[in-house]
Amino acid sequence: MSKDGLTVLSLFDGMSCGAIALREAGISVKQYFASEIDRQAIRQTQPNFPDTIQLGSVTDVKVSELPPIDLLIGGSPCQGFSFAGKQLNFSDPRSKLFFEYVRILREIQTYNPDVKFLLENVRMRTEYENVISKELGLFPVMINSALVSAQNRARLYWTNIAVRRVDNLFGHTIHTNIPHPSDRRIYLRDILDANVDSRYFLSRKEIDRLVKVREYDYKEIPVFHESGLFDLDCEYCGGDYYDFQHPIIREYVSDNRNIYKSSIELPSEVKRVPLSAIQNEHLIEGLSVNSNNTYVISGAIVSPQFGGGFRPIMNGKSPCLLATSSNYAACLIINGDDMALRKLTPAECCRLQTVPEWYEWICSEAQTYRMLGNGWTVDVIRHILHYLKI
């Protein structure tokens, strides 16, 4: 490593969350090479990091043509592994790109055996996780972004930045030795803007569509056996499972994490929808209806393939941000007998991914949501990089 800083190679660079984390961690970077094929992501990255050297597709990266690499980072495409997808694992051509990461790492190790690396991916079946661990020579650590932000986002991180050796009958195994960051106890309530443009609120027509989609029962949850838009069940939502404690929602009213009094204001042009018309009195039972108190419940708008409707999240965190628009983070705002439902704004989603305010956005809102869903939680990466010995 040069005294002028690290030479970094970032594969599947996206919006350059790695570069953001390095800057936030105060780590000097001499050169930053990025492999990315998404034109919108490149267009977003370059104004923020104009010195980034773009290399194109990961399959075209030739280590022999690059200066010595000190740090290799990347989050290979996860669609084949995600529990939210079809789980094609390594049969998915996108997930096969992991082996390009391995190829490049091996080529770097021929001249720099001590090169530091970091690979991120989703939680997956143990058999697939073990394949990655075998290729990289160590086991990962699972860190949930909920520790540093208001977002539920459990991810696996394989890195030799800090490791520990575990002896056993057959020799030893190497494990990633990054401790979990301290819990900052940040909840959705802490990152919401009080005043939000009315275009982020769902219309009555959109809500009616959600009500129609949400017409099924879960027999294993008899407490809320009636079908409704806001059934409080334990459901797969946006890539993560969430704990559910039942049966009375009023228990959560006294728990500041989730349902809480708020200074949130509703735009005057947003039409209130009578809560009683679509709630089957599930939430009314636990709330002080006929009052002027405003409550906010975190949750997600779920696509029909996962049952549809709005799913409350009982730990007060947002769901995992996704790159697709089929499932997205939202919040339910209740005031008396009325409610309004809205999706989170790009600025709020940036806070969920702990993207700093200095990062300039030039792409469209749709692209912003997509890149944030594909990106890393910056403060988790910064936490890992903190253990680099420079």
Count CA atoms within 13 Å of residue 269 on its CB side: 7
Strands 6-11 and 29-35 come out as parallel
| Cβ proximity of 378 and 355 under 8 Å | yes
Query: Three-state DSSP class for 73?
Result: strand
Residue with structure tokens 């838009």?
229
Residues 6+ apart with CB under 8 A from 41: 13, 14, 15, 371
Nearest to 371 by CA among 382, 361, 379, 356: 361
pLDDT digits (tens, 9 = 90+) for 256-277: 344 444 555 566 666 555 444 3
Q: Of residues 123 and 224, which shows the higher confidence score?
A: 123
The residue type at 332: L
The residue type at 7: T
pLDDT digits (tens, 9 = 90+) for 174-212: 999 999 999 999 988 888 887 888 889 887 777 777 766
pLDDT digits (tens, 9 = 90+) for 302-346: 777 766 777 877 677 899 999 877 678 998 877 666 677 889 999
pLDDT digits (tens, 9 = 90+) for 36-46: 999 999 999 99
Asked if the model's pLDDT at residue 63 lies above 50, the reply is yes
pLDDT confidence of residue 100: 94
- Token readout for 207 is 């809500």
Q: Give the C-alpha separation, 198 to 254, whole Å.
A: 29
Catalytic residue, from 78, 237, 320, 349: name it: 78
350 is catalytic: no
pLDDT digits (tens, 9 = 90+) for 11-38: 999 999 999 999 999 999 999 999 999 9
Residues 6+ apart with CB under 8 A from 174: 137, 138, 139, 160, 163, 164, 165, 166
Q: Give the C-alpha separation, 219 to 5, whole Å.
A: 59
| Cβ proximity of 321 and 352 under 8 Å | yes
